[in-house]
Structure 1
Amino acid sequence: MMNLFEMNSKYRELEENEELDATTLKDTLDAINDAREVKLDNLASWIEKNKSQIDWVTKRVKDLQAKKTALTNLNKSLQEYMTAALDDAGLKELQTENYLLKPRNYRASTVVDSLDALPADFKSTKTEVIVDKTKIYKALSAGEDVPGAHLKPNRGTTIK
């Protein structure tokens, strides 16, 4: 029989394997011969650690997206300035110590000033079907039959 430290290390090994699919995870957990309370305590700790990491990753992704947007906008401004400087000097190219700079024409950007002023030939209507899950839930909860939909039980365990 394993001691408590060895059992906890078994959970840590599982925790480090981020590629476990649901079936393999269940089978592996089932194979751990441990008291229910110890097993569930370890799982609750794992879940709490994951939640903390999810919060950190979510914030980090948001920060990185903001940084990406700021850098993209800065590069656009720098490019516009550099092109204007070359155009103002009437230069078709400029050799610097590190770069060969050549202003060029790219495909023109299409700008719509007024959607209402555009002729109908240049507009199309997009229709999107959206499911009203709240309405379906209320109908199914009231015992109504809604073809193409059903209620699925949703059980979980709170960790406090």
Structure 2
Amino acid sequence: MNVFELNATIKAVQEKDLDPETLADTLESLELPRNEKLDNIATWIENNQMKLQWLKEKKRQLSDTETAIKNQTDRLQEFLTAAIDDTGQKEIQTENHILRPRNYKDAVVVEETNKLPIDYVIRTEAIRPDKKKIYEDLKHGKKVLGAHLKPNRKTVIK
């Protein structure tokens, strides 16, 4: 396999979401010296980590933008409704729109949950596993039905 074929194979593997067995088989089949292969895989991991960090930041930015647009839309809606209500008309027709304020079901605003009488509070208990206790018991040899330890080995790339 020449360098161009190797590069094409590596690029094809990087672009696919392969199951662990297929990925391992494909990487094993690459005809490269062991250290070169490991170095390329480490570089690939670093690139993936950079992409994940970029995506995380982008997701946060998009979420912030979404919130800002929702808030702006709510304020514009309040302004528009108040402006039409001030005219005393039930409907206003513009060149592009028919504007008709409408009453919807009143919204409940809870300012302080802890001040509500007990009759107005719903108590829920989310059931979630106590992973710390499960870990400790499993580590000490106790069997826990529905849980087990899975080895978690990774390689540090510097």
- What TM-score bracket applies, with the shorter chain setting the length? 0.7 to 0.9
Q: Which residue of 2 aligns with 1:111?
A: 109
Q: Which residue of 2 aligns with 1:97?
A: 95
State which drifts further: 132-141 or 48-57. 132-141
Q: Distance in 1 between matches of 2:55 and 2:23?
A: 23
CA-CA distance at 1:5 after TM superposition? 4.5
TM-score normalized by the length of structure 2: 0.85
TM-score normalized by the length of structure 1: 0.84
Deviations for 1:69-109, whole angstroms, at most 9, x for unmatched residues? 00000000000010000001112111122211111111221
Counting aligned pairs with the same residue, the percent is: 42
Q: Which residue of 1 aligns with 2:6?
A: 7
Contact 2:138 2:144 in 1 (8 A): no
Contact 1:92 1:103 in 2 (8 A): yes
Match for 2:36 among 32, 38, 48?
38
Segments of 5+ residues of structure 1 without an aligned counterpart are none
Q: Distance in 2 between matches of 1:3 and 1:113?
A: 69
RMSD (CA atoms): 2.1
Q: Which residue of 1 aligns with 2:150?
A: 152
State which drifts further: 57-66 or 97-106. 97-106
SS of the residue aligned with 1:80? helix
Contact 1:136 1:146 in 2 (8 A): no
Q: Does 1:87 align with 2:82?
A: no
Segments of 5+ residues of structure 2 without an aligned counterpart are none
Q: Does 1:71 align with 2:75?
A: no
Question: Which amino acid is the alignment partner of residue 45 of structure 1?
Answer: T
Q: Distance in 1 between matches of 2:50 and 2:112?
A: 47
CA-CA distance at 1:119 after TM superposition? 5.7
Q: Distance in 2 between matches of 1:30 and 1:136?
A: 36
Q: Which residue of 2 aligns with 1:131?
A: 129
State which drifts further: 72-81 or 127-136. 127-136
